Amino acid sequence: MADIKIVNIDALGKPLGQYSHMTRVKSAAETLYIAGMLAPGNTFDAQCTAVFAQIETALRSAGAAWGNVAQFTTYLVHSQDIAGFMAWRLREFPKMFPDGKYPPNTLLIVDRLVQEQFLIEVQTIAAI
């Protein structure tokens, strides 16, 4: 099992949401690079829920769980969805990461994703 430490650096100030500044991984094991997950849904919130469910499925397929996540990269199509994304994470991340140590997350606003219907895509790196 990888030794994963998620930390915040005092000199960088408090993170602006459910993420941390850095992950330190000591491992002689595997690193998982999970492609950006997309999911259809009638609302942005429904897409968030489905995307993270797909990430969990990918993690479990490799014998991993949320505690193995080292980093997320999130792509949103609309900047107006930032507040909804932060609210979703505020509600759901404490269940996924009960120790309160949230992996680093880079959030990018892009012109569009592979199909017009998709509003969010999340890429994941995990260590097992």
* Alpha carbon distance 120, 70 (integer Å): 19
Say which CATH superfamily domain 3-127 falls into.
RutC-like (3.30.1330.40)
Give the pLDDT of residue 29: 75
Q: Residue 25: which of 98, 95, 103, 97 has the closest Cα?
A: 103
pLDDT, one tens digit per residue, over 81-98 is 999 999 999 999 999 999
Query: What are the residues facing 22 on neighbouring strands?
Result: 7
Cut 0.85: pTM above it = yes
Per-residue pLDDT tens digits of the chain, which is 128 residues long: 789 999 999 999 999 999 999 999 987 879 999 999 999 999 999 999 999 999 999 999 999 999 999 999 999 999 999 999 999 999 999 999 999 999 999 999 999 999 999 999 999 999 99
The residue extents of the domains of the chain are 3-127
**Spatial contact of 20 and 101, defined as CB atoms under 8 Å apart:** yes
Only one residue has tokens 């998620």, namely 6
